[in-house]
Amino acid sequence: MNPLVSVIIPVYNVESYVSECIESVIAQTYSNIEIVVVNDGSTDGSGFSCDQYACSDSRVVVVHKENEGLSAARNAGIAVCRGDFVAFVDGDDFVSPVFIETLMHAIEVCDCEIAAIPCGTAFEDGSSCELVAKAAFIPDARVMDSYTVQKLMLYQRLDTGVPWRLYARRILGDAPFAVGLYYEDLASVYKFIHDVDRVALVDCRALYAYRLRKSGIISQAYSPIKALSAIEVSRRLSSDMQEWYPDLAVASASRCFSLCRMVYAQIPVEYELSSKFENDRRALWGELKERRKIVLSDSSARKRERLAAAIALIGEAPFALFCHACRKAGLLLSLIHISEPPRH
């Protein structure tokens, strides 16, 4: 029999989307799956909708818990899942019917413990998103060593989104996602990659549909937890890369600079609010100052980051103006799920 795959779906107040999500997983051509839906204290009708699917399909298991955030919901799903492999689908997204089949086939053919796609297909809420329907239209997987994957993720040529991958259960451990921090995907995926020798990459984004909502983390109003999370995640990432891959220290500086720049740009510029978050601004600026010269001199860094680093060398005032202009122009990209096209 084919290995059991657990698909974990964290759900929080996505009543309008959760049915489409669950039905897309139920419709998988790879049938040996269990669907673990974690209702993270929803206050709308999401929990009721999830229970209806559990009543009609024995493969669906619903866990109801108090609201603690995405990381805690994923951890709760991991705690009860029985699969040999685990995938994650966010409750407001949906997947191709051959999503699991494709990644499981890649794992078997390439003899890997992680299979991935570069990233999902992003679409605006209210619009449609067409995904590939047959495995015959998907390119063959190729094997990449973990070092190369780490480098591509640090330079944002591959996205760090947790849902873009299928993982062997043993890689995840018991509670791999840090509770209480934002940017949990960036904080965790590089650790999973470090735990394997190689990854199977399927170059097809049209296996996962990622919905862009106004309530997403990037579009939410600024709060101090964002600065705290960005700094904490950056420091952990830098430290681990220095220990595990010393020659990727420069690449990790680029990734951390990008994260802190993005959060710095979200701090309001209006005087009253700006002064309120002055300590956050100073802390983030300290992280940016520490890495600006490294990023500017790194020819592999994204042009956007090198330009920002060059302006940061002039001083904080012009850097703040640059960040504000970029945000107003809508040029900031989503950190967790949108990246530049891979360059190989």
Phi, psi of 320 (to 5 degrees): -65, -40
Q: What is the pLDDT along the chain (344 residues), one digit of tens a residue?
A: 899 999 999 999 999 999 999 999 999 999 999 999 999 999 999 999 999 999 999 999 999 999 999 999 999 999 999 999 999 999 999 999 999 999 999 999 999 999 999 999 999 999 999 999 998 889 999 999 999 999 999 999 999 999 999 999 999 999 999 999 999 999 999 999 999 999 999 999 999 999 998 765 455 678 999 999 999 999 999 999 999 999 999 999 999 999 999 999 999 877 555 678 999 999 999 999 999 999 999 999 999 999 999 999 999 999 999 988 887 776 444 333 333 333 33
Per-residue model confidence (pLDDT) at position 182:
95
In one letter, which amino acid is 83?
G
For the chain, give every domain's residue range.
5-212, 224-328
- The pairing of beta strand 85-88 with beta strand 5-11: parallel
pLDDT value at residue 75:
98
Q: How many of the other CB atoms lie within 10 Å of CB of 313? A: 14
Token reading at 45: 């009708």
Distance CA 318, CA 175 (A): 42
Nearest to 177 by CA among 72, 64, 69: 72
Look up residue 263 and give its two tokens: 């959060």
- Name the class of domain 5-212: alpha beta
Question: Quick one: angle between helices 18-26 and 46-56, nearest 10?
Answer: 20
Query: What SS3 class is residue 210?
Result: strand
> Which contiguous run of DSSP H or E holds residue 323?
helix 316-328
Which secondary-structure segment (H or E) carries 33? Answer: strand 33-40
State the pTM of this model: 0.91
Q: What is the pLDDT of residue 216?
A: 56
